[in-house]
Amino acid sequence: MDLQAIIDDIALAFAERRGEGKVADYIPELAKVDPKQFAIAITTVDGAVYTAGDAATPFSIQSISKVFMLTLALGKAGETVWNRVGREPSGSAFNSIVQLEHELGIPRNPFINAGAIVVCDMVLAGYKPKEAIGELLRFVRYLADDETISIDQAVARSETQTGFRNYALANFMRSFGNLHHDVDHVLGVYFHQCALSMTCRQLSRAGLFLAAQGADPISGYSVVSPKRARRINALMLTCGHYDGSGDFAFHVGLPGKSGVGGGIMAIAPGKASIAVWSPGLNKVGNSQLGSLALEMLAARTGWSVFGA
């Protein structure tokens, strides 16, 4: 299978459609991003890398970072994570507050905003906010084998200044006793986490451990146990695209996590880690062309977890 030819075809197929969708403009810094960008990168478990389009252009990975923060939290707190956050699809918008009251401040899953804020609270235990942010940055650099990965401070500031709904979510959970640290400290970590800036090439490399039963197949080092990698993939499949998760599973059939920066990281277990990026979002906040590109890739490669 010629993966380079496949992704070159995909990039060509979307060349005339660049700019489709709506850039996330509720975060002012993201509103400035040129929507006519498109990238795809694949890193296979044997270490081969294939890229097409703007795969060397950094972008704000936003909620894709929740996968890496959850991995850290599981390493720190183990299965007790699930005492404070659920594992069910939300069926609601990523920043919805409605379910929280009904479910007594326990977020549905770690990939909606409320759940990710609780995960940040767990990672913050025993740390100052800057130390927790540093821990995440070191972890992602280690996974991607790239020390140049950084946090976009302008995006972090933009989120801090406009993240009123996230402040509401955090305070609401604090009122139920499901947030243990100062709200400003937890959200400081959360906003900086979402402002991680990576290229598709770096992102596809960082997700590779999830395609290889929890180990980095290139270095040989174990990142998480095979069981934990399988469970993180399961959560990505069922919850990784908010209220569009079922549709993504239906069309693509791979565990994936989207971000409102227009990126998607997808995992083909046993085969490869894939990253796509196109800033324009569809109506449920996932990359419009990125989702279509992954559907085309899954069809061409037969990589769906549900069978070819």
221, 280 in Cβ contact below 8 A? no
Q: In a 10 Å sphere around its CB, with 0-12 CB exposed, 13-18 middle and 19+ buried, how is residue 292 labelled?
A: buried
90, 79 in Cβ contact below 8 A? no
* Distance between CA atoms of residues 8 and 179, nearest Å: 46
* Distance between CA atoms of residues 286 and 34, nearest Å: 17
Render the burial of 43-80: b for 16+ CB within 10 Å, e for the rest. Answer: bbbeeeebbbbbbeebbbbbbbbbbbbbbbbbebbeee
Q: Check residue 242 and give its pLDDT.
A: 86
Q: Check residue 204 and give its pLDDT.
A: 98
Q: Which tens digits make up the pLDDT trace of 238-285?
A: 999 988 999 999 999 999 999 999 999 999 999 999 999 999 999 999
Q: Report the candidate in 1, 5, 70, 10 with the shortest Cα–Cα distance to residue 38.
A: 10
Q: Check residue 96 and give its pLDDT.
A: 76
* Distance between CA atoms of residues 308 and 298, nearest Å: 8
- pTM to 2 decimal places: 0.96
* Distance between CA atoms of residues 275 and 260, nearest Å: 14
SS3 of 165, please?
helix
Q: Check residue 308 and give its pLDDT.
A: 64
Could you say which residues of the chain have pLDDT below 50?
none
Which active-site residues does the annotation give? Answer: 63, 66, 190, 242, 260
Q: Check residue 90 and give its pLDDT.
A: 83
